[in-house]
Structure 1
Amino acid sequence: MTQKAVIVQELRSAKQGHVRWVRYASALIEGMDMLKEHVPVLGTDCKFGKWYYGPGQGLKSLPSYQKIEQPHLDLHDTYMQIFKLLFKNEDDAKAGFFAKLLGRKKNQEADLNTARSLFKELEHTSTIILAHLERLETEVLALEEEDVARLYYVSA
């Protein structure tokens, strides 16, 4: 397999990881049983972020690569807001049983609606990231194999 093919494979895998992360975030908001660890809050902890800030750094001279970082940071900032809304009361042992039963339901519904609204923003940002990733793949495919070798070290 050529270095270019390996890079494209890694890029596509990172992209799939990003898409999966967005699906997990949606599932979490909709109350599906899911470990919140499946949707890392920090941009350096998700599968895509591990590639982007790791091996993907070899592509940092390409224009599309440079356009990905800010939307990726924005995406995780938005998710951080969602995460705080969804889990802010999880460890609150101070409230009594009836306060939990009666007082939180209305607040939780408002928080859930806010989280859903924020998720729409997150989806929009994800679309931007995916468009940049498509352009990045096109840029990589247009490179000569020698240029790829200079940019990106692929371990055997």
Structure 2
Amino acid sequence: MLYFRIFVMTKKQILHAIEHAYEYHVEQMEKVTLLVEGNKVKNPTPRMKNECDFGKWLYGDASRIKRLLGLQFYKDMELIHEFWHIEYEKIYDLYYRDDEDGLLTKIFGNRRRLSEEEREEVQEYYQALSRATDDLLDALSASKRRILALKEYIFKNID
């Protein structure tokens, strides 16, 4: 898996990181969909917002990204990303709450059987997560457009 680079230097590298973030969250949503459909998922998505690839990049190079995208735009994207992980954690907790250390989950994709009531809860959380995914993907697309609109010299002067 390709990881985001912290302290991205060029316009091309930032665009690549944004594209990777987009692909990464599509992939993570596919994993969640498989889980909700009753399939085992190896290496579930990290629960914490700063542990996923996108979060490592977003928070690891925050001051630079804020200057390039604008503070308000950055904060909006950060809130959407945080909400995504909050909703995801609700689903994760229902399926994996008995596996505290996560080792069995990572190796075998083990998960709990859910009651009917829990399955209904998961569906509600899944719908919210789907909407958050759409919002996050829209924000990433807008980020890419913003970066594309910037002149190359701006990236040399942003450090």
| TM-score (norm: length of structure 1) | 0.77
Give the 3 Å change call, closer, same or farther, for CA 9–90 of structure 1 in structure 2: closer
Deviation at 1:127, TM superposition (A): 0.9
* Cα displacement string for residues 19-66 of structure 1 (whole angstroms, at most 9, x for unaligned residues): 11111112112221212x331111111121122112465211223333
2:39 paired with 1:32: yes
Give the 3 Å change call, closer, same or farther, for CA 8–90 of structure 1 in structure 2: closer
Deviation at 1:88, TM superposition (A): 3.4
2:76 paired with 1:67: yes
The one-letter code of the counterpart of 1:51 is W
Distance in structure 2 (CA, Å) of the matches to 1:68 and 1:131: 10
Gaps of 5+ in 2: 1-8, 101-111
2:6 alignment counterpart: none
* Cα displacement string for residues 80-118 of structure 1 (whole angstroms, at most 9, x for unaligned residues): 111122223568xxxxxxxxxxxx97x612211210121
The one-letter code of the counterpart of 2:37 is E
- Largest Rg, 1 or 2: 1
The one-letter code of the counterpart of 2:88 is Y
2:141 paired with 1:144: no
Moved over 3 A (4+): 88-91
The one-letter code of the counterpart of 1:49 is G
Query: What percent of counterpart residues are identical?
Result: 25
Aligned length in residues? 137
Distance in structure 1 (CA, Å) of the matches to 2:24 and 2:153: 28
Distance in structure 2 (CA, Å) of the matches to 1:71 and 1:84: 20
CA contact (8 A) 1:11 1:137 kept: yes
Q: CA RMSD in A?
A: 2.3
2:92 paired with 1:83: yes
Gaps of 5+ in 1: 92-103
Deviation at 1:130, TM superposition (A): 1.1
1:54 alignment counterpart: 60
Distance in structure 1 (CA, Å) of the matches to 2:157 and 2:30: 35
